[in-house]
Structure 1
Amino acid sequence: MHPVLTALLAAALFGAATPACKPLLAAFSSFQLAGLLYLGAALATFPVLLLRGEAFSPLRMDRRNRGLLLSAVGWGGFLGPVLLLCGLKAASAASVSLWLNLELAATAVLGALFFKDKLGALGWAAAAGILAASATLAWGDGPAARNAGLWVAAACLCWGADNQCTALIDGMSPAGTTFWKGAIAGTFNLVLGLEFSPWLAAPGQIAWALAVGALAYGASIALYISAAQRIGATRGQLLFSSAPFFGVLFSWLLLAERLTVYHAAAGAILVASLGLLAGERHEHSHAHAEQEHSHAHSHDDPHHAHEHPEGAGAGVHSHPHRHRALTHAHRHWPDLHHRH
């Protein structure tokens, strides 16, 4: 599947999570629900790991990639969902859905400051626009919503760090990254939730939470990682940032939440901001050093000109491969090969 379509499908699944989780907060604490959501993600991706023989892939990773994986687990699997659910308790699902676009701004700013993910003037203007849209929502929904907005902003900052770490991982498939993030963080959050809060949920509510996690945090995250590793974390997040609009739509359809003029204004600012970021171009002469690693790739670009046995190598696939030294100029995104 084309990475743009992959990112949009991931966005639709993730956007549905916020309205789907809102009713579940009456039965679970934030830690309990966060744990079940990510365990659902792990359950959804584990069969894929077994089929590919990747169940023990972290043992084969080098120290750098294990560190990136653990960082992604901590930021995106443990802290991010708990902070989000704390915010969702105090605000409408529609508002929280739109606030989640702060994740794009967080990903972009953290990338520019710490991860060699370059942003031009249009990119910085887009990040400022997203912050303005979030402030519009917080102002329109009152003091309680402003507190909820801070919880969601903190969650988005955590997910921004997660996005940048995850996009740099090689030697592990998107399904593998999603499984280990879900299994480790989900177990940890659920244990904390059981320790500090009573267990009140019915079996049907548990099954619903696991199903939401499997789709919104399992399939969705695996699809996003696949796209981000091919087009870069910030550009992948640009497409993934359509998720809040799916969230608003589902909040209206499923929860009958009232949409206000502030939602419309924030949505308009967000669309304009995404348009600015989509118009950014990054093109110059650059050099690639010789390198050997493993990640999902195809043979429709000059970076992957290695040969395969006859009949192999069609479409997107993953295996250890070597890159020859290369100097050229083209438009590019900050993917695994363009962090300069």
Structure 2
Amino acid sequence: MKLSVFHALCAAVLFGVSTPLAKLLVGEMPAILLGGLLYLGSGVGLGVARLVRDRGWQVSGLSWQEWPWLLSAILFGGILGPVLLLLGLLLVNAATASLLLNLEAVITALLAWLVFQENTDRRVVMGMLCIVGGGVILAWPNAETLAANGLGCLFVALACCCWGIDNNLTRRISANDALFIAAVKGLIAGLFNCTLALLIGYSLPKPPILLETATLGLFGYGISLVFFVLALRGLGAARTGAYFSTAPFIGAFVAISLLGETASAKFWLAAGLMAIGVWLHLTERHEHEHTHESLGHRHRHIHDAHHQHDHEFAWDSSASHDHFHTHEVITHKHPHYPDIHHRHQD
């Protein structure tokens, strides 16, 4: 649980810092090309990292039933979402965009609870509302600014819808190699948007800007996504989305620390609300008798209460290992979260 929360917050930090930096690059190139280069930078960087880690190319481990989930997630989160966000950033200021980005957590949670039947309780809902409420207070624009940028707000809101869908689709395959998932998403989405931009007639930016964009994409979109997938594996979509909604606050905190900006009273009020929300999630206790249906999948694991199976190879019983394994039907009671082994509604 604690490690998964750490992964979710790492994802939020990287993405939160990348948003204002991406704003600086919006004027340097068209939104569709910028979105493509950000994802292409993440895909190439993570692809190289995976080759180094595995000492060569290794198969993905995804089954043929899982590829539609990944490709659909790439369509919504990798192709449509970034372009819509960057179009929005052309028309709205950073404060308004930060406010609207909190819609992602709400949409992610609603889809997880209503469509994908992920379990929840009052404490989790209250925690998410505190975190999202903190983001709203932090970046609240005046009514005139919001009304004047209606189209830009619509683009950002649609981007949040795409990412909410992406988060829930990615949850379905989060037991697989997070590095592979993030690398493939970056490569496919980046190549698609870059190719489309070049066909339209746009030109690549100068090498220094190209390198800056690729580096920002690697950290803000690539490594952030790796952490996000790892968090999905242990927390489920709704809880991961709630922790991830601290990204606007984290970005503002970094700006205050590094850029010398002053902290207003609403900043500290937002910080307090978000801290309460995180505390509510950290202290959640979800426990009841539940039944695990037969399930076959592959991921790194140790032989705990959920992993009691035989092996056709020699293995160290004290070490974690990775292979395809089948879970037998089991009914028991213990504290748990909607991780890859506890995806029941109640």
What's the TM-score, normalizing by structure 2?
0.84
| Cross-structure match for 2:305 | 302
Matched AA of 1:61: S
**Deviation per residue, 1:226-268 (Å, 9 max, x gap):** 1211222222233333322221133445667776666555555
| Cross-structure match for 2:142 | 140
1:16 match: secondary structure: helix
Q: How does 1:222-233 map to 2 (within 5 A)?
A: 222-233=226-237
In 2, Cα distance between the equivalents of 1:313 and 1:227?
A: 24
Worse overlay, 95-104 or 115-124: 95-104
Cα pair 1:290 1:322 within 8 Å, conserved: yes
In 1, Cα distance between the equivalents of 2:317 and 2:35?
A: 40
Cα pair 1:97 1:247 within 8 Å, conserved: no
| Cross-structure match for 2:119 | 118
| Cross-structure match for 1:81 | 82
From the superposition, tell whether residues 163 and 47 of structure 1 become closer, same or farther in structure 2 (CA, over 3 Å).
same
> In the TM superposition, what is the alpha-carbon distance from 1:81 to its structure 2 partner?
1.1
| Cross-structure match for 1:24 | 25
**Deviation per residue, 1:98-124 (Å, 9 max, x gap):** 543322211111100111112223334
Matched AA of 2:6: L
Counterpart of 1:210 (choices 214, 228, 235) is: 214
Matched, 1:179 2:165: no
**Deviation per residue, 1:289-323 (Å, 9 max, x gap):** 22221124344x411234663436624x5321221
From the superposition, tell whether residues 87 and 154 of structure 1 become closer, same or farther in structure 2 (CA, over 3 Å).
same
Matched AA of 1:241: S
Cα pair 2:8 2:244 within 8 Å, conserved: yes
| Cross-structure match for 1:284 | 288
1:61 match: secondary structure: coil
In 2, Cα distance between the equivalents of 1:125 and 1:295?
A: 32
Cα pair 1:170 1:295 within 8 Å, conserved: no
Cα pair 1:10 1:224 within 8 Å, conserved: yes
Worse overlay, 182-191 or 79-88: 79-88
Matched AA of 1:67: P
Q: How does 1:181-330 map to 2 (within 5 A)?
A: 181-196=185-200, 198-199=202-203, 201-252=205-256, 268-299=272-303, 301-306=304-309, 309-311=314-316, 314-315=319-320, 317-330=321-334
Worse overlay, 150-159 or 209-218: 150-159
| Cross-structure match for 1:96 | 97
Matched AA of 2:182: T
Cα pair 2:45 2:218 within 8 Å, conserved: yes
Matched AA of 1:175: L
> In the TM superposition, what is the alpha-carbon distance from 1:21 to its structure 2 partner?
0.9
Cα pair 1:13 1:215 within 8 Å, conserved: yes
Matched AA of 1:284: H
Matched, 1:14 2:18: no
**Deviation per residue, 1:46-72 (Å, 9 max, x gap):** 1343343665427x5222x11111111
Cα pair 2:40 2:190 within 8 Å, conserved: yes
Worse overlay, 8-17 or 272-281: 272-281
| Cross-structure match for 2:63 | 61
> In the TM superposition, what is the alpha-carbon distance from 1:269 to its structure 2 partner?
4.6
In 1, Cα distance between the equivalents of 2:193 and 2:291?
A: 43
**Deviation per residue, 1:14-71 (Å, 9 max, x gap):** 221112211111111111111011111111211343343665427x5222x1111111
Matched AA of 2:8: A
Cα pair 2:41 2:213 within 8 Å, conserved: yes
| Cross-structure match for 1:44 | 45
Cα pair 1:38 1:77 within 8 Å, conserved: yes
Cα pair 1:44 1:214 within 8 Å, conserved: yes
In 1, Cα distance between the equivalents of 2:150 and 2:277?
A: 22
**Deviation per residue, 1:168-213 (Å, 9 max, x gap):** 1167300111111111111111122223353262110000010011
> In the TM superposition, what is the alpha-carbon distance from 1:338 to its structure 2 partner?
1.4
From the superposition, tell whether residues 57 and 95 of structure 1 become closer, same or farther in structure 2 (CA, over 3 Å).
same
> In the TM superposition, what is the alpha-carbon distance from 1:131 to its structure 2 partner?
5.9
Matched AA of 1:24: L
Cα pair 2:287 2:336 within 8 Å, conserved: yes
Worse overlay, 203-212 or 325-334: 325-334
In 2, Cα distance between the equivalents of 1:313 and 1:80?
A: 43
Cα pair 1:102 1:153 within 8 Å, conserved: yes
Over the aligned positions, Cα root-mean-square deviation in angstroms equals: 3.0
- % identical equivalent positions: 37
**Deviation per residue, 1:58-98 (Å, 9 max, x gap):** 7x5222x1111111111111111112212222334355345
2:81 match: secondary structure: helix
